Structure 1
Amino acid sequence: MQTLPLAAGELRADIAPAAGGSIAGFWRAWQDGPAQRRTDWLRPASAQGLAQRDPLAMGSFPLVPFCNRIRNGRASFEGREIRFPPNHPTVASPHPLHGIGWQRPWTVAAAGERMIELTLEVEASPAWPWRFSAWQRFELSEQALVTRFGLANRDTAAMPAGIGHHPYFPHTPGTRLTSATAAMWVGDAEVMPTVLQESDAVRRLRAGVELAELDLDNNFVGWRRQALIEWPVDAQGGGRSLVLQAEAPLDYFVVYCPRGADHFCAEPVSQCTDWLNLLDAHGPGPLGGHRLAPGQSVEARFTLTPRWA
């Protein structure tokens, strides 16, 4: 599958429009004496993942028109019924996840050495009974990768919406994550939220924690829109770090850190799992989400800024 390259100084990125508009890689290409070295800031896409156009094998992919899961794919919004089928390619779950955009090819609207812009048009269907469009703009400088993205309601009725991105980061021994939030949605056995509380994970992430100590797939609220990832000296290079910084409305945070995995996810999102079905009980504050009138849009930005000695 063709990827589109970005280059600025020692930083590189590859964009995969056909694999759900994903970031296939983000890394530093550097010279270590006579050797050419590579340090990955996002988990690099595998050759098999690229061949299969599999977003779950990429470095990050967009979440539109909703983030995370909807219980059993069923929800109602202002007289329209959502009947979203299961969409995980490998796991038998009744709860569809991550929206629509990650499983569609995106169109290249513009491409240069340091900027790529993609667009997506989606017609209404029984799964999501609203027509919408989406866009992404990737901008690479010598200091950071900036991703701007948005969603617009092209239908004749108001539409519920959520947006976000799903970055996968390398998890090597000693990797640490620091991020301040107010509370965490505790989930059931199917990773669906049930109770909001200031858990031990909230306190540990706030102080900074070695990821090997965690086993999470949870939504966090009251996020300060910043996370620090730190890697120790290893085969990829010296001690280094990366700052993930988001802007409103990416006010919610998902941490997916399965024990023993070589990757973890730290996701900036604008709404929590199953927000439409939980709104009546909890209100928008702990859940987020948007109501887009016809023609209205929502957009956001997040930045990945690596640091190395």
Structure 2
Amino acid sequence: MTAPAAISAATASQERLARLRELSAETRIAIVNTITGPRMGHIGGDFSVTDILVTLFFGVMRYRATEPDWDARDRFILSKGHCSAALYSVLARAGYFEPDLLGRFMAPLSPLNGHPNRRKVRGVEANTGPLGHGLPIGVGCATGARIAGADWRTYVVLGDGELQEGSNWEAAMYAGHRGLSSLTAIVDRNRLQQGAGTEATNTLDPLDAKWRAFGWEVLEVDGHDHAALLAAFEAPPAGKPRCVIANTIKGKGVSFIENRVEWHHKVPSVEQTKQALAELAAR
């Protein structure tokens, strides 16, 4: 399977945008069903990042699910690897593996670990889990593309709390210095991390100014608006790496989960699962 052709926000039809919204709704339902079996996961972050992943995989990126090592593919790295249920749900929908495998999420000997493993799951570009590793790997991918004279792009999704890891800023400094324009970092800016808000834990704002100071182009968008995301991902090259600050809601889509810090890794009860699925189906 090859990814659908990228959609320009200026010309994207309402039908295509409606399809992306539909895929996001289906992905959130898949996430709920995926994590309720093992009763483990990170549903809040899964839901905040869903629209970003859906837009990238079904509106922007170039790939072949039946040929995951295709040389010309765009590279995608989920640096916030604890949100693997969202990634697996999208990969299954994209054709990398059968959706039935989601039922084995975090089961003994299952390839669908709590954190993505490229040796076990087709479509996973890099092993992630310990935070702060994805962007350095993405910088390596973008550097490799430049050396090879290749036109594929690299996309890295980071959590905002993850930016408290210094390795991100070392990678950002290098990418800015080298002008790695094929690299896009997307910050899932939901403002919550395990146990507290990001600003209460270690202030990140003004986040846009920090990225610009490291030589990056910065675009700030609503991370749940597919058209805005498409416009940011497909904006004309600026000769430098691009950071998309995607303002999101942790737990987006389910009323009792949205913006609640305890849902970083809380799992819905049986009754809560029914309510969550009902709310998602009604959207």
TM-score by length of 2: 0.29
- Larger-gyration structure (1/2): 1
Q: 1 or 2, which has the higher strand percentage?
A: 1
